[in-house]
Amino acid sequence: MHILISNDDGIFALGIRALANACAEAGHQVTIVCPDRERSATGHGLTLQDPIRTDLVPNLFHSSITAWACSGTPADCVKLALGSLLDRHPDCVLSGINHGPNLGTDTLYSGTVSAAMEGLLEGIPSIAFSLAQFGHRDFSSAAQVAVQMVDTLMQFPPARPMLLNVNIPPVALSDMAGVRLTKLGFRRYHDLFEKRIDPKGRTYYWLSGEVLEEVDPETMPGGQASPLLTDVQGIRQNYVTLTPLHFNLTDWGDVDRWQPWAEHLAAGCAAMASASDS
């Protein structure tokens, strides 16, 4: 299988080295295109006002791997790989292994998830991997899980393009509780902006966030009770969590509620247009 790998932690991150080398050692053809430096929490940002530069990076990964360091964002990296650097589309896009979790609403900000989302936008099965503890430096178990997931993808190819957000507990394989299909949780933060003064006397701010609570969405669209754990709950219980994601953010459960608003707005706009013509 030909695998494209990216991340948001940069070309020198331990997580991408563990993932790429494990996939190569399992016999897969691996190409890496990832940021040349830390680009976490960039979301799905694209570089539009500056050139994007790439450099081949030799001798950092398994000898069979072709690796590129890119000056752009994670989404830039995958978009550039698919549109220019690769001769053909890969069989799947992997992103990570991220240094720290990507759970719940954090996925909206995640460069790791956005790199994988770029694969989905091009119709390629994609998986984002995160090791759910900041500072944990042993990625061997997480890489083994990732290789097993690639094998599962080969054995059970999806009927349509998909994106899985995978969080892996920072424990040995023997200590993992299993694998659970989960839904996104909702994590509420208390944002803290620390005010500082630079050496030239100018004010700047440093953003940090403290998780206050996880709010569990009780229902699915249509008001049905959800039988699934949230990804946050699953990780707390040492499960590998699999959360299917999609780029379609339509709130289907509220579509009917907004119909009267749309009709009232249409009537108001028509009245204003009629008045301006008279």
- Taking only the tens place, the pLDDT of each residue in 78-89 is 999 999 999 999
Of the candidate ranges 70-79, 119-128, 178-187, the one whose mean pLDDT is the lowest: 178-187
Backbone angles phi, psi at 143, to 5 degrees: -65, -35
Say what the pTM is: 0.89
Residue 217: is its pLDDT beyond 60? no
Residue 223: is its pLDDT beyond 70? no
- CA-CA distance, 13 to 69, in Å (whole number)? 12
pLDDT value at position 255? 84
- CA-CA distance, 61 to 91, in Å (whole number)? 20
Banded pLDDT at 207 (limits 50, 70, 90):
confident
The residues pairing with 239 across neighbouring beta strands, listed in sequence order, are: 178
Banded pLDDT at 215 (limits 50, 70, 90):
low
* DSSP code per residue over 223-249: SPBP-SPBHHHHHHTTEEEEEEE-S--
Burial of 136 from C-beta contacts in 10 A (0-12 / 13-18 / 19+): middle
Banded pLDDT at 274 (limits 50, 70, 90):
confident
pLDDT value at position 78? 97
Other CB atoms within 10 A of residue 113 CB: 27
Over range 171-188, report the average pLDDT.
Answer: 91
The encoded tokens of residue 102 equal: 């990507």
How large a percentage of the chain has pLDDT more than 70? Answer: 92
Element (H, E) at 210: strand 203-215
Look at 111 and 252; give whichever has higher pLDDT. 111
For the chain, helix (H) and strand (E) counts, in that order, are 6, 11
- Taking only the tens place, the pLDDT of each residue in 94-138 is 999 999 999 998 999 999 999 999 999 999 999 999 999 998 999
Q: Check residue 183 and report its DSSP letter.
A: B
The residues pairing with 31 across neighbouring beta strands, listed in sequence order, are: 4, 66
Place of tokens 């069979």: 64
- CA-CA distance, 16 to 1, in Å (whole number)? 18
Of the candidate ranges 63-77, 108-122, 181-195, the one whose mean pLDDT is the lowest: 181-195
Q: Where are the alpha helices (DSSP H) in 10-129?
A: 14-25, 74-80, 111-121
The encoded tokens of residue 207 equal: 């953003």
Residue 224: is its pLDDT beyond 60? no
Q: Is 71 left (phi over 0), alpha (psi -120 to 50) or beta?
A: alpha
pLDDT value at position 195? 86
- CA-CA distance, 235 to 252, in Å (whole number)? 28
